[in-house]
Every structure is written in structure tokens, then in C-alpha cells.
Amino acid sequence: MERNPLRLAIVFSLFLVGLYIAGYFYPSGLHWGFHFLGFLPIHYVILYPFLIVATIFTINRCNIDTFIAAVSAIMERKPLRFLIIVIGVFVIAAYLLRVKAPLLGDSMYLAKNYSEASRGIEAVDPRNEPIATYYFYSFMDLFKVTTYKKFLDIFLIADLVLGIGFIIAVFISVRLLFSGATDRFLSFCSVLVLPYMQLFFGYVETYPVTLFGLSLYILVTILLLKRKIRFYVVAITFLLLTLVHYLTVLLLPSLLYLAYREAKNKNIKDVFLGFWLSLAGVILLLFAINFQIDQYYAHVPHKHYLPLVQPSDYVEIYSSAYTLFSAYHAIDLLNLLLLLCPTAFFLITGVLLAKKQSIVQSTINKFLLAAIVPVILFILVAKFDLGTARDWDIAAPYAYIISLLAVLVSLNEKHFSTMKTFTMIIVLSLMNSLIWFTLNATADSSINRYKALLDQRIFSQAAMYSGTLNLSLYYHQIKDIHGPIDLWNRYISIYPDDHKGYTNVMNNLKRRGGNTDQIIVETFDRWMQTYPNNAVVKQLFLNFSLDTGNRLYHEGKLMEAEAFYRRALSIDSTQAKPYNNLGSVYAERGEYRLAIDLFQKALSMDSLNTEAYYNLGQTYAEQGDTAKGVELFKRAAHLGNTQARDFLKRLGHTW
């Protein structure tokens, strides 16, 4: 019985190693759940399989039971010292492997919102996670964050506090769930070496609070099942958890299961008290926010679930990378599984194959299943705004529930799980997590991986735009003036009809300084050659030429202004504004005959152009034909031109 599960664990470990090595050679966006080695130096590719093979050899050849028993005894006899050591290791690891380039999730939006809120420009946006949002903002406010570097440092501190709380909650939970010292140690290690721990390593998002909140909710549930607290404590904890992030309301079946169990055990008063206290809490919150619920909810124009078939509505097309039954959706889900909990999947599958009913025998297992099944069903149909790869952190906290369930069912299934098997699984999880942590702790590697994620096969156009914008904003923070331009040019090559891409290139070109006008003209010329029939490019180029010409005109640079107005005419000779503006240049030079011809040309194209009437009237007046000028001023005034009206008022005329 010892060899079979261990042999399976070894085969599974080698399978994952093979996937990771394949990810090195093919680091595509389609392999985002295991392609991490593809963005790290070659020595990681050599070291990773070597350590896994060394672990397999050690576990097979050496007596590790004695070592595990000795460490387990320390955890049992000196729990406080053991816990302090673990927390110390965690803090050191989080500092050394802190996230260097926080690009995943809504990191840059949080940085912008917190920055503007601290300067009084706008209020903190709680979105769908009020407690989590205000938790991090309280740290920013307390430490008076004014720079991006300090923002990252304070986020790390806030993450560490949550991480320590999570470790303590897990420590207490496993001591309550298991009676054996070895089982306690193995289960404790199993849930602390998984990729979701990245959330506590300076990860800039609000989901670390969700993960801590889940650990607290599970802990109070265990205390309830051990009859150490009463149901209303669990109910209040659940209410707080939903205020951490509204998505956690999916765990409601688990609370209802506990309520049913309590009622069945004749604790109906506690159930009523718990729900009444929760209801009272909700009512108090509504009064506290003056029933302005809209301010505490993030509205989006699209649906939150994937379409069954290719949508016809523009908003859904823009926000959907694929349909529900698309192969790319299946690929995303598989990647999410491989990233977050492959070993938990292996353990649960092994138990189910060994003994089908073991997974639902205990109360705690039923509770965890009631918690995680709705979440899994949601993930199967959900449309992730940023793309599943960037929004991995939404699902990450719930991997703790799956992992704890896997530990419970496998450690209790003695025929399947042995000490050597479990040690193999722990080491495999640790190695894979370290690869993930190391990648995110290296700025260049993180950026290169992030660029690979920007794949229109798995990202909608909305996700591609927000993803490009997110990295562009990060480049601004680190003073990289060239990176954003390359990014937006890539976006344009994929979505040539989206005017936002061109606008962002122009804005970033202006940030570079120097003779940006000429650079932008050359850029537009390239775009016009590449997309000769693109109406968006033509209109943007026209607007740029007119705006630049106007600026140069007011600066007194008439020759340069004329060149831009003529460029506008070459782009589109059917619009009135370029003729009118060019006429102003000639009028300023005193070339009135040419100016009049241009103003009249503008009016022939747009008989309601008040600016052309005013300019034409002014030109006649400057030549001494006051009557003609006043007549034209009256036409302009009648059409609403304020300059003409003011001029006529001064002369005592009506219109």
C-alpha cells in the first residue's frame, strides 16, 4: 500500500515537471498556468528538474519518517516557538520574493485611486470590496504615502500583516482538525506552500484580505463544530467576509448548511440570533452610507457571464474573448487549475478513485464542499474582465478551501495517503510555488510574461486595452518613456479601428519631449500608409493637424501653422474648418484677398459656420468696408457667435 500512492505521486510530479519544462520552450499566453520557466534564466530550467528528481530519490531511499516525526514533535510540544519561526520564515521570504512589477489584477488602478484620494482629488472607490479597499487605504493614509515606491513598500507591510494573520488562523485550524502531531504538521505545510501565498508578498490588489477573511471564516466554523463558540459568531463573520468582497456571498450555502445543522441539533435560537444580528448589521450599514448603494458597487456595461454563442451586441463582443464552450475557455480553466491547485486535484481524485464516499463523510468536509462548489460553478461560467490570466487573483483565495479539503480527505484516507506520498506532494507544491514567486520577484521577467499574456485568443478587446494601459501606466511610474509607445503600437496593429490606441501613442510621444510635432506627423504618415482606408486614423490626423496649427497660430508661428492647416486639407478637403483656419493665417499676414477666398470656401461647405462669418466680416472691416463687415457680423451673431455679438453691442447694433 506504501508503494502505489507514492508511485502515483512520483508520476504526477514528473508530469508537472514536464509541463513546466515544455512551458520554457513554448512560453505562449495559452500556457500561462505553467510557462513560468520561459521567462527566467536558463539555470532555473536546469535546477528545477534536478531538485525534483533529488527529492524523489531522497524520499525513496532515505528514512524521512524520523525527520518528519521530529519536526512534528516540535510543533506539538512548543507550538508558540514553532509558530514564531514559521512567521519569521514567511516574513523573510515575502521580503526577498516581493512582487517587483505589480501588473496583475487592478494594481495600477488601485495606485491611481489611492493617490488621488490622498490628495483630495477624488474619493476612495470601494468597488465590490469595501472592507478590503479601506483596509489598504488606511495604511496609505497612516504612512502618508506620496511616491510610488513608498506605495509598494506600504502595500507589502499591509500584506505581511494579513499573511501573519492567515498563518495563525491556519495553525489553529489544523490543530483543531487533526489529533496526530504528524498530520497537523503535514497539513500545515501543505496549505502554506501553495501559489496563493503570493498574495501576501507585496501583491498590489485587495484579494489578500479575502484570503485572510476566508481563513478566519473557516476557523470560526471549526470552533463552532468543536462547540467552542456559538452560531451567531459564524454568521457575523460571514457578513464581514461578504463586505470584504461581495463575491464571497457564493459561500452562503456553507452558512445555510451550518444553520441547518444547528437547528437539527436544537440550537434554533442561535440560528435566529445569528441571522437577526446579521440583518441588523446590514440595516445599520445602509443607514451609515445613507442608502447610497450605487457608490459601493462597481457597475460594468457588459454581462458577468460568458455568452453561449458568438454575441451580436457590440458591448458583449468588446468584452468577450470567447464563448462558454470555446476551446480557449477550457484552456484558461485548465491553466487556472494548474497554477492554483494541481496537487489538491491529484489528492482529491486519488481519494475518490480509492473510496468514492470518503469525501463527504465528515461535517467539515460537507461544509467545505458547500463553500467551494458554488465558487467552482461561478468560475466555470464567469467572464473575467481583465482576462482569466490577469484575474487569477479572484480565484486564488478559494484555492485555500480546495487545498484544505484535499488535505482532510487524503490524510483521513490512510490507504491512499502516506507520509512519503504527502511529503512528495508538499515538496512539489513548494518547488512550483517558488518558481512562481521568483518570476514575480523579477521585474523584467514579470514584464515579459505580462506581454505574453496580452493574447487576443484569451483576452477580449476590453481586456487587451486595459492590460496595455496597465503596463503603460507602470512604465510611467518607472520613467520608461519608450515602452508605452511600443505597447500601444502593438495594440494598434491588432485593433486598427480603435481610436484610443492612436490617442495613447500621441500622448506618450508628447511625454518624450523634443520636437514631438514632427515625430507625431511621421507616426501618422506611417499609419496612413499601413491603414490607408482607416477613417479613425484620418479623423485623428485631421484633428491633430488642426489643433497643432491652432497652437502654432496663437504662438505667432504663422508659417508652421499654415503647414499644418494645409496638411489638414490634404487629409480631408471636404471640411470647412481647415479653410477657415488657413484664411486666418492669410488675414494675419495682410493677404486679404486670399483670406476672403478661403473664408468663402469654408462657408460654401458649411453655411452655418459662425467663425467663418466672423472672420470674413473682420477681414472686410480691416480693408475699410465696414458695412459689409457689420452685415457679416450680424449673420454670425444671429447664428450664436459670441464674439460677433460683443462687437456689435459695442457699436450699438442689433442683430
Residue range 273-286, pLDDT digits in tens: 999 999 999 899 88
Q: Are residues 414 and 499 in the same domain?
A: no
Average pLDDT over residues 216-225: 98
Of the candidates 413, 441, 469, which is a domain's last residue? 441
Cα distance between residue 151 and residue 111, in whole Å: 7
Could you tell me if 383 and 303 are in contact, meaning their C-beta atoms sit under 8 angstroms apart? yes
Q: Are residues 475 and 436 in the same domain?
A: no
Confidence grade of residue 388 (pLDDT, cut at 50, 70, 90): very high
Of the candidates 387, 421, 441, which is a domain's last residue? 441
Q: Are residues 378 and 435 in the same domain?
A: yes
Per-residue pLDDT of 316-353, as tens digits, reads: 999 999 999 999 999 999 999 999 999 999 999 888 87
Q: Are residues 452 and 426 in the same domain?
A: no
Q: Are residues 604 and 532 in the same domain?
A: yes
For cell 514632427, name the residue.
518
CA 350, 356, 359, 362 torsion: positive or negative? negative
Q: Are residues 553 and 538 in the same domain?
A: yes
For the cut 50, the answer to whether the pLDDT of residue 3 exceeds it is no
CA 476, 481, 485, 490 torsion: positive or negative? negative
Query: How would you label 13-41 residue by residue, b for 16+ Cβ within 10 Å and e otherwise?
Result: beebbebbeebbeebebbbbbbbbbbbbe
Average pLDDT over residues 111-117: 91
Helices (H), 534-609: 535-554, 558-571, 576-589, 592-605
Amino acid at 288: A
Cα distance between residue 442 and residue 444, in whole Å: 6
For the cut 60, the answer to whether the pLDDT of residue 261 exceeds it is yes
Cell of 369: 464542499
Calculate the alpha carbon distances from 421 to 1, 49, 190, 352, 493 in Å: 11, 18, 12, 16, 50
Number of separate domains in the chain: 2
Could you tell me if 322 and 328 are in contact, meaning their C-beta atoms sit under 8 angstroms apart? yes
Cα distance between residue 255 and residue 269, in whole Å: 16
Q: Are residues 421 and 456 in the same domain?
A: no
Structural domain containing residue 320 = 3-441
Q: Are residues 433 and 492 in the same domain?
A: no
* Averaged pLDDT score across all residues of the chain: 92
Per-residue pLDDT of 570-623, as tens digits, reads: 999 999 999 999 999 999 999 989 999 999 999 999 889 899 988 898 898 888
Confidence grade of residue 526 (pLDDT, cut at 50, 70, 90): confident
Residue 527 maps to which CATH number? 1.25.40.10
Q: Are residues 172 and 274 in the same domain?
A: yes
Of the candidates 441, 468, 502, which is a domain's last residue? 441
Q: What pLDDT is recorded for position 1?
A: 40
Q: What is the DSSP string of 451-505?
A: HHH--TTTS-HHHHHHHHHHHHHHHHHTT-SSHHHHHHHHHHHH-TT-HHHHHHH
Q: Are residues 350 and 311 in the same domain?
A: yes
| pTM for this prediction | 0.88
Cα distance between residue 107 and residue 471, in whole Å: 10
Q: Are residues 435 and 512 in the same domain?
A: no
CA 643, 649, 652, 655 torsion: positive or negative? positive
Q: Are residues 78 and 115 in the same domain?
A: yes
- Beta strand residue intervals within 104-253, DSSP E: none
